[in-house]
Amino acid sequence: MASEVERIGRERERKDIRDRWLLSAPALVIVFLAAVGPLFVMLLYSFMVKGDYGDVRPGEFSLEGWVSVFFQRDIFDDTLGLADAHLSIIWRSIQLSFLTTVLTLILGFPTAYFIATRPPHTREIWVFLVTIPFWTNLLIRTFAMQQVIRNEGLLNNALIWLGVIERPLQIMYTDTANLLGMTYVYLPLMVLPLYASIEKLDFRLVEAGYDLYATRFQVLRRIVIPLVRPGIIAGSILVFIPSLGAYVIPRVLGGGKNMMLGNLIELQFGAGRNWPLGAAMSITLMALVMVALIVYVRNASRGGAGHV
C-alpha cells in the first residue's frame, strides 16, 4: 500500500513538472527567438567574409572579422599591427563606464540614504521624483544635458555670472561631456537599488555602533556598507552595462569625435560596411560585460564574506 502511494506521488510530481514546462514553453520560445537568436546570428556573422557593399558572403567563412578587432593590416605589405584606434575606443569605453559607475555611486548613495531615512509617508514622493526622468526619452534627456554644458549653456553662464571664469569652458565634444551625460542619465538606476537595500536596513545596528563609540565613518564602513552591499552590486551592474554600450550620449555630447564602443559597432554596420567586424565587436562587448560582472561580483562577494 505504501509503495502504491509513493508511486502515485511520483507520477503526480512528474505530471506537475511536465505541466510547468508546457506552460512556460511559449515564454521560453519567445526568449530564445528574441534574445538567443540574434546573438547566434551575430556570432555567425563574425566568422563570415564581408560583402563588397555590406552584408556578408553566404557560405564563406573567415577569422578576419575577429582579427580586425585588435589588429589592422598594412595597406602595403599586408602585415599585422595593433589597431590603435579600436583599442583606444575600447579603453575609453571601459574607463568612462567605470567612472560613470563610481560617480553615480558617490551621488546615489547619499540620495538613497536620504530617501530611506525620511518618514514613511513621504518616501513614495521622493522615489516618484527620482523616477520622473524615466518618463522622458533618452534622446531628449541627452539634448537637455547638452543645453546645460554647451558654451552658451546654463553651466557656463552661471560660472561667468559668478565671476569664476572669464570665458566659457569647452565641455562639449569631450570625454567629460560623455561622463557628465551618462552620470545624469543613469543616476536613477543606481539610486533605486540602493534605496531598496537601505530601506531594509535595521537602523538599530547603527544606533548600537554609536553606543559603542564608533565614528560616523566607522559606522558607514563597518555596518551600513556591508549590509547594503547587494544594492551596491545591483546598482553598479545596472549602470556599468548600459554605459559600456552607450550610443546616443557619445553621439550627441561627444559629437563623433569621442566615440565609444557602441558608436564603433554602429559605424561598422553603417558607413564602414564591415558586418563581420561589427558582429565581432558586438560579441566582444558582450564578453567584456560578462568578464566585468564576474570580477565585480566575485570581489564584492569576497568582501562581503570578510565582514561576516
Give the pLDDT confidence of 243-280 residue by residue, as tens digits: 998 999 999 998 877 889 999 999 999 888 899 999 99
Q: What's the pLDDT score for residue 308?
A: 42
Global confidence as pTM: 0.84
Instruction: Choose one of 71, 97, 116: the last residue of a domain.
Output: 71
Same domain membership, residue 256 and residue 168: yes
- Share of residues in the chain with pLDDT > 90 (%): 40
What's the domain range around 253? 84-306
Same domain membership, residue 16 and residue 144: no
Task: Using pLDDT thresholds of 50, 70 and 90, give the confidence band for residue 1.
Answer: low
- Tell me what the mean pLDDT of segment 136-149 comes to: 92
Task: Using pLDDT thresholds of 50, 70 and 90, give the confidence band for residue 295.
Answer: confident
- Share of residues in the chain with pLDDT > 70 (%): 95
Distance CA 283, CA 290 (A): 11
Q: What's the pLDDT score for residue 37?
A: 84
CA–chain centroid gap for 129, Å, is 22
- Tell me what the mean pLDDT of segment 143-147 comes to: 92
Same domain membership, residue 92 and residue 66: no
Domain count, the chain: 2
Cβ contact 296:290 at 8 Å: no
52 φ, ψ (degrees, to nearest 5): -70, -30
Same domain membership, residue 89 and residue 57: no
Helix axes 84-116, 120-131, angle to 10 degrees: 160
Instruction: Choose one of 71, 102, 125: the last residue of a domain.
Output: 71
Same domain membership, residue 204 and residue 297: yes
Residue 230 lies in a domain: yes
Same domain membership, residue 100 and residue 40: no
Q: Which segments of the chain does DSSP mark as H helices, in order? A: 2-31, 37-46, 64-70, 84-116, 120-131, 138-149, 154-162, 175-199, 203-211, 216-219, 225-227, 229-244, 248-253, 261-269, 275-306
